[in-house]
């Protein structure tokens, strides 16, 4: 069976769903807002706004009623009783058991618990905000509808010169009654409100009422009122105006508390790196933001008081390595299962890389594949992308309605840059056809739109005469508006007259017949007259038939004038739409114009250039040229929505590489946004600039102001640089395709393969680091537990992997960082891909990855046990030693958090023969879990020195710096995390660990000499010198000493200081390499070889130069064999 890893947002991501810190995290350090700021109704202070919200819910009957609206969304569960099973369902909430009496389901019980927690948190927050919280509570109490109503009762009793005592009594009585009513309402809607609390509040209400009554009566006398006004104005004039604070200034610490501990002179040596510079900035905001942004191992003065160092966004980003590790392990396990299946079926097996490609392709196709193991692996990896997508939606990075439009299911689009460069014409042609296809479809739609517009135009043209007709009809009808009765009579008369038409016509016909038969003149004349009269009447009837519809229309219009007026407006609007419709028709006709092939190819060229020219491989989302959005079919989003299948040959499908690249991009964006509100940290940079503006304003001399202005620019530069290092864009070349950039990348990989074969032996002094950080007894504790119960170590290390600790065997995290090979976006050619694969394997062949995983796991066990030991001690009522308080604060844990850790450990943790493990991935308090896990990860990466974004000079992120200073990352990181931090720590553990590290460094010297076939000098002064050099205890200070020593032939440097030979570490490095790094050292060796070939003198010097250029030549188990070969060739 393949292992299934749970990948839920709360397991791997930050607890901060909003840019503002969570209440439980920030409460202990929160800067108490000023009472004056609380009095300002227009303040932007987020702490005040939050206090007002809490007070509205706690101290205002209306707010309390809204916050505790009854639950109606939960379906009742038959037979459910929250008090069954010894009331286990309400464990921890026994004091509020009455609140659960009406609960009808487990879901409703959970909701009631949440409501109780919210009320308790609101009360706690109001308590912690001091005077500002009191003002907020009083304000919300005063505007309580019940209190307002009660206070209106006695106001009429105010009279100028009236009795103060009488007025105060009336106010007190009214306020007490209002308080009783208000407290009754609040108690009915708050589960946590006690009788004692209500009684006290009623008494206070009475007292406040009395005071208000007294004040009101006094102020009724104008002289007294003016005196009070003058007094208040005088007091306010002496008070500084409060200013708003942001995310970097919400903690209640001073500049001195944020000061680095230890020796000032040693701390000054940190100024070569951005993190060290910001830690010593004159700006308190810069110091705080530095801690929140970049991981460090420093001690600050505030740690002595138990105030915790902030958890860095960098540490939170590292936690995403757990996701990558689980994905890689899942894929590997799936491949093992697949291999067994095809072996049993006799089918040819694909290799691991092809299997990874198939998994990636399946993830674009709804996680479906003809190979069951591929489909299963894709389905197991899917939650990883869903988790990060959901997190980005919560933070507003992605819209809520984001959906997949280019494939059946989502897989991040990572381009194969080398494939695009090689087959640019084909890729451009695919893009061109896609653009023309979109345009053609849009043009076809535009043609259909023209037909609809033409129909609309026809209706508009026919509407014009209808408007004229209806306008006339309404005008004529309105003439009868005052004489509607007469109109109705005329309609009735004409209708009656028309009704006689048949009778009149028949009589005329009869008269005509009688006339033809009549003989008498008298009869004939009579018939002629009567017939003439009837014909006249018939003419009247004909006229009535013409007039009746008009009159009836008048009557119809008068009966419903609004409807016909509305019809007139509708027809008028339609008639007037001709111009608008005609303009729309012209636009649609323009959209119907097809995009030429040349235009489409030009746009495709621009898209391709954006892709292959993206800095650090971070391809922008807006790929379409801006001008293209004016064409039919293209939106303002400018996203290249071409189906993945059409360009799949140009996309990375290797799921390992896709996941790594994806997480390297989204993890910094998520955590920077969560910590600072925006990825660009614009608000924090503005705060730093504002603080410097105040400092510059208060500076006394132009020289001081100029210095501060320069320091402001430096601080902003360093903050932006570390931010961009986290994102992966700092120092990114303008043209990553250039020969210099790509050749430098290849050279660095080759240098790693040819020079660091013995790096595991060089890392032996790392064994002293846990002792240096935690002391001998604490460091040996896990080893003792291992001797008792090996299974306990396996369980504990599995827990550590959930914290991203000890993953190097799979991810090579530390190895790549030390070798300056941390560019995850460099897969541009087959050679570069091969070298990346080789460097990963090389880390395993040298056993460095295994060493790092083991050492980090050991360190993790030590710090985990140390934290949990202290948590247990605190829970049992014991006092925590000052040394432990300081250490815990340094890793980000204060005593309040330690208490909460103890609670979680008591629920989920385990004591395995003295080895404590928290099983923190099971903890139900996300905030505590993440604080605990981040503290362990931070300490482990400082114990087993893993460089961070603030540890190295900014130059090392440039292409030139990467070449010249390759392999120097460790010395800068060790300077910060070991030397300076250790001096700040200043206890016996550090000095004991230092002696151990120097001793182990001497051992490394002896082993290296043996492997290289050279004699060892065991004199004490030489061993101490070599031990110092090999241990890294001197940090970056050793580098200028060794460089001077190499270039001076040993006359100056570390060896000369100890009266010993030059350090052995760089004996084989030429002078050029000593000054300009291993790449130029490689060039020097090439020149040596070329010189020998040209001069026909190929001696030992040239032989050794050839040997140094070979990959794997100094692997500690290969080097002795090559030594013999080299010796025989001399």
pLDDT tens per residue across span 449-499: 777 877 888 888 888 888 888 888 888 887 887 787 888 888 888 888 888
Q: How confident is the model at residue 78 (pLDDT cuts 50, 70, 90)?
A: confident
3-state secondary structure of 161: coil
Question: Would the pLDDT of 251 be above 80?
Answer: no
How high is the pLDDT of residue 429? 94
Could you tell me if 672 and 314 are in contact, meaning their C-beta atoms sit under 8 angstroms apart? no
- Give a three-class secondary structure readout of 12-58: HCCCCCCCCCCHHHHCCCECCCCHHHHHCCCCCCHHHHHHHHHHHHH
Model pLDDT, residue 201:
66
Q: Does residue 229 register a pLDDT over 50?
A: no
Token pair listed for 309: 């160092």
> What is the spatial distance between Cα 587 and Cα 784, in angstroms, rounded to a whole number?
81
Tokens of 296: 């460090």
Question: So what's the pLDDT on residue 174?
Answer: 57
Mean pLDDT value of segment 824-846: 70
Please report which confidence band the pLDDT of residue 26 belongs to, taking 50, 70 and 90 as the band edges.
very low
pTM exceeds 0.75, yes or no: no
Task: Determine what percent of the chain is predicted with pLDDT higher than 70.
Answer: 82
Quick one: how far is CA 862 from the chain centroid? 31
Of 363 and 1099, the one with more pLDDT: 363
SS3 623: coil
**Comparison of pLDDT for 951 and 1012, the residue scoring more:** 951
**Confidence label for 633 from pLDDT (cuts 50, 70 and 90):** low
Q: What is the pLDDT of residue 523?
A: 79
For residue 65, give Cα distances in angstroms to 57, 182, 478: 8, 11, 58
Rounded Cα distance between 1000 and 1017, Å, is: 16
Question: In this predicted structure, what is the pLDDT of residue 313?
Answer: 97
pLDDT at 666: 94
pLDDT of residue 486: 85
User: Is the per-residue pLDDT at 30 higher than 60?
Assistant: no
pLDDT at 219 over 50: no
| Among 328, 334, 344, 900, CA closest to 658 | 328
pLDDT, averaged across the chain = 81
φ, ψ for residue 342, nearest 5 deg: -70, -30
Token duo for residue 646:
């059409």
Mean pLDDT in residue range 912-931:
92
pLDDT at 196: 54
CA distances from 304 to 253, 277, 287, 939 (A): 13, 22, 17, 18
Please spell the DSSP secondary structure of 1022-1043, one letter per residue: HHHHHHHHHHTTTGGGHHHHHH
Q: In this predicted structure, which of 106-120, 156-170, 538-552, 1109-1123 has the lowest mean pLDDT?
A: 156-170
pLDDT at 131: 76
- Please state the φ and ψ torsions of residue 997, each to the nearest 5 degrees: -65, -40
Which stretch of 323-337, 411-425, 522-536, 633-647 has the lowest confidence by average pLDDT? 633-647
User: What average pLDDT does this structure show over 746-750?
Assistant: 85
Phi and psi at residue 320, in whole multiples of 5°? -70, -15
Indicate the pLDDT class of residue 35, thresholds 50, 70 and 90: low
Neighbouring residues of 449: CB distance < 8 A, sequence distance ≥ 6: 584, 588
pLDDT at 250: 46
CB proximity list for 803: less than 8 A, separation 6 or greater: 319, 322, 860, 920, 933, 936, 937
pLDDT at residue 564 tops 90: no
Torsion over CA: 374, 375, 377, 378 (sign) = positive
Q: What is the mean pLDDT of residues 609-638?
A: 70
pLDDT (mean) for 590-606: 82
| For range 1093-1119, the mean pLDDT | 81
Q: Which residue has the higher pLDDT, 392 or 404?
A: 392
pLDDT in tens, 156-188: 444 444 444 445 455 555 555 566 667 766 777
More confident residue, 94 or 204: 94
Q: Are 947 and 931 in contact (CB under 8 A)?
A: no
**Dist. CA 793–CA 915, nearest whole Å:** 8
**Tokens coding 1016:** 């060892």
Q: What is the pLDDT of residue 999?
A: 95
Read off the tokens for 827: 């897969």
């Amino acid at each position: 069976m393949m292992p299934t890893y749970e990948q839920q947002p709360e397991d791997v991501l930050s607890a901060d769903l909003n840019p503002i810190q969570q209440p439980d995290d920030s409460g202990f350090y929160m800067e108490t807002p000023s009472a004056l700021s609380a009095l300002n109704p227009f303040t932007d202070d987020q702490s005040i706004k939050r206090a007002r919200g809490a007070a509205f819910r706690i101290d205002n009957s209306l707010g309390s009623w809204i916050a505790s609206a009854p639950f109606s969304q939960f379906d009742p569960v038959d037979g459910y009783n929250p008090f069954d099973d010894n009331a286990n369902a309400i464990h921890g909430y026994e004091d509020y058991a009455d609140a659960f009496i009406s609960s009808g389901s487990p879901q409703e019980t959970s909701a009631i618990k949440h409501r109780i927690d919210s009320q308790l948190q609101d009360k706690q927050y109001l308590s912690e905000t001091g005077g500002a919280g009191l003002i907020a509570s009083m304000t919300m109490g005063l505007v309580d509808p019940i209190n307002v109503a009660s206070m209106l009762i006695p106001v009429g009793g105010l009279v100028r010169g009236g009795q103060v005592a009488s007025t105060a009594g009336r106010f007190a009585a009214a306020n007490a009654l209002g308080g009783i009513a208000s407290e009754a309402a609040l108690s009915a809607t708050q589960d946590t409100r006690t009788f004692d609390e209500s009684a006290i509040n009623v008494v206070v209400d009475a007292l406040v009422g009395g005071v208000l009554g007294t004040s009101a009566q006094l102020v009724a006398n104008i002289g007294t009122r003016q005196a009070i006004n003058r007094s208040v104005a005088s007091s306010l004039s002496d008070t500084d105006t409060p200013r708003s604070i942001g995310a970097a200034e919400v903690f209640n610490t001073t500049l001195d508390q944020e000061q680095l501990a230890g020796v000032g002179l040693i701390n000054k040596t940190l100024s070569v790196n951005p993190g060290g510079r910001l830690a010593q900035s004159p700006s308190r905001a810069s110091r705080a933001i530095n801690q929140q942004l970049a991981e460090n191992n420093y001690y600050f003065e505030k740690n002595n008081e138990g105030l915790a160092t902030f958890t860095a966004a960098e540490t939170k980003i590292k936690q995403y390595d757990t996701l990558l590790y689980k994905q890689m392990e899942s894929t590997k396990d799936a491949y093992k299962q697949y291999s067994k299946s095809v072996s049993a079926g006799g089918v040819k097996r694909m290799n691991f890389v092809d299997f990874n490609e198939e998994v990636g392709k399946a993830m674009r196709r709804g996680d479906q594949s003809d190979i069951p193991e591929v489909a299963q692996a894709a389905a197991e990896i899917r939650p990883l992308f869903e988790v990060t997508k959901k997190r980005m939606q919560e933070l507003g990075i992605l819209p809520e309605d984001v959906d997949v439009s280019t494939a059946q299911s989502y897989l991040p689009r990572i381009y194969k840059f080398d494939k695009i460069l090689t087959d640019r014409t084909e890729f451009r042609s695919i893009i061109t056809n896609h653009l023309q296809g979109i345009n053609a479809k849009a043009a076809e739609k535009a043609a259909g739109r023209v037909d609809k517009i033409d129909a609309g135009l026809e209706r508009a043209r026919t509407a014009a005469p209808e408007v004229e007709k209806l306008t006339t009809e309404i005008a004529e009808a309105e003439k009868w508006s005052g004489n509607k009765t007469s109109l109705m009579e005329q309609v009735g008369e004409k209708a009656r007259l028309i009704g006689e038409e048949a009778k009149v016509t028949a009589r005329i016909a009869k008269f005509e017949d009688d006339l033809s038969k009549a003989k008498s003149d008298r009869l004939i004349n009579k018939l002629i007259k009567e017939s003439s009269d009837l014909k006249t009447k018939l003419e009247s009837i004909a006229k009535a038939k013409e007039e009746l519809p008009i009159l009836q229309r008048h009557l119809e219009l008068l009966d419903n004038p609004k409807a016909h007026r509305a019809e007139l407006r509708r027809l008028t609007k339609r008639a007037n739409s001709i111009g608008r419709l005609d303009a729309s028709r012209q636009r649609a006709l323009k959209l119907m114009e097809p995009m030429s092939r040349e235009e489409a190819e030009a746009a495709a060229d621009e898209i391709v250039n954006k892709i292959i020219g993206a800095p650090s491989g971070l391809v922008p989302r807006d790929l379409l040229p801006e001008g293209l959005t004016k064409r039919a079919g293209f939106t303002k989003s400018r996203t290249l929505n071409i189906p993945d299948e059409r360009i799949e040959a140009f996309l990375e499908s290797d799921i390992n590489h896709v996941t790594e690249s994806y997480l390297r991009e989204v993890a910094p964006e998520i955590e920077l946004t969560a910590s600072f509100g925006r990825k660009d940290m614009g608000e924090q940079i503005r705060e730093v600039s504002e603080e410097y503006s105040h400092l510059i304003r208060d500076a006394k001399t132009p020289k001081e102001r100029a210095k501060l202005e320069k320091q402001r620019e430096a601080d902003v530069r360093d903050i932006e640089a570390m931010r961009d290092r986290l994102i992966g864009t700092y120092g990114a070349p303008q043209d990553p395709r250039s020969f210099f950039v790509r050749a430098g990348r290849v050279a660095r990989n080759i240098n790693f393969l040819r020079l660091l074969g013995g790096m595991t032996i060089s890392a032996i002094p790392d064994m002293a680091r846990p002792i240096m950080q935690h002391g001998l007894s604490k460091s040996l504790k896990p080893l003792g537990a291992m001797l008792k119960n090996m299974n306990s170590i396996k369980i504990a290390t599995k827990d550590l992997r959930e914290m991203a600790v000890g993953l190097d065997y799979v991810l090579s995290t530390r190895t790549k960082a030390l070798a300056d090979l941390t560019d995850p976006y460099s897969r541009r050619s087959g050679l570069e891909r091969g070298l990346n694969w080789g460097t990963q394997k090389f880390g395993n062949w040298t056993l460095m990855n295994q060493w790092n995983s083991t050492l980090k796991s050991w360190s993790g066990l030590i710090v985990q046990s140390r934290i949990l030991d202290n948590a247990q001690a605190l829970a049992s009522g014991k006092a925590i030693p000052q040394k432990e308080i300081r250490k815990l604060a340094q890793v980000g844990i204060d005593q309040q958090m330690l208490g909460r850790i103890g609670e979680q450990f008591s629920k989920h943790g385990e004591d395995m023969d003295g080895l404590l493990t928290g099983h923190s991935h099971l903890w139900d308090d996300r905030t505590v879990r993440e604080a605990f896990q981040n503290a362990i990860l931070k300490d482990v990466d400082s114990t087993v020195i893993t460089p961070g974004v603030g540890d190295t000079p900014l130059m090392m992120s440039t292409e030139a710096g990467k070449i010249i200073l390759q392999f120097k990352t460790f010395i800068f990181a060790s300077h910060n995390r070991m030397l300076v931090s250790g001096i700040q720590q200043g206890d016996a553990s550090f000095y004991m660990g230092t002696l151990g590290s120097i001793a182990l460094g001497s051992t490394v010297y002896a082993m290296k000499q043996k492997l290289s076939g050279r004699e060892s000098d065991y004199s004490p002064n030489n061993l101490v010198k070599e031990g110092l050099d090999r241990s890294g205890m001197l940090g970056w200070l050793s580098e200028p000493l060794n460089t001077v020593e190499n270039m001076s032939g040993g006359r100056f440097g570390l060896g000369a200081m100890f009266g010993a030979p030059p350090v052995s570490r760089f004996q084989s490095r030429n002078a050029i390499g000593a000054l300009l790094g291993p790449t130029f050292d490689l060039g020097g060796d090439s020149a040596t070889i070329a010189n020998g070939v040209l001069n026909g003198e190929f001696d030992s010097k040239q032989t050794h130069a050839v040997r140094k250029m070979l990959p794997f030549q100094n692997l500690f188990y290969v080097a002795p064999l090559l030594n013999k070969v080299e010796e025989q060739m001399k």
